[in-house]
Structure 1
Amino acid sequence: MNKYVITGINKLTGEREAVTKPHSEWKTRELRDKLAARQNCRSAYKCLKVEPATQEGDL
């Protein structure tokens, strides 16, 4: 079973970082939708994306 994480661009450093722990694909997409719905100017991350956890390594 593949695991996925949500990544986002950190507004302070400008680097893409993992925002969540690895989950199943449907759970990760559900979490991304919830996070994206509450994105605002005070959020630390922008441009949220679902990516395979293997790219991020161990969190």
Structure 2
Amino acid sequence: MFKLPMVIIYMIIAFNITAFTVVLLLNMLIITSLIAKIIACALTIGAWVLAYVNRYKVVKIF
């Protein structure tokens, strides 16, 4: 049995959301709304919190 830590999946998702937020905050996108930037920052914080909370969960593969 191979055990895959769920933190890897959560961190991949959190890193992608973080990268989107950085690009959004640097005004590289068409979106320049302050509300959209606040929502993106909140989503980033939430994604990293989920990664931290679920850091000990594992999924059995095969």
Report the TM-score, using the length of structure 1 for normalisation. Answer: 0.36
More helix per residue: 2
Greater RCO between the two (CA within 8 Å, min separation 6)? 2
More strand per residue: 1
Decide which structure has the larger Cα Rg and report it.
2
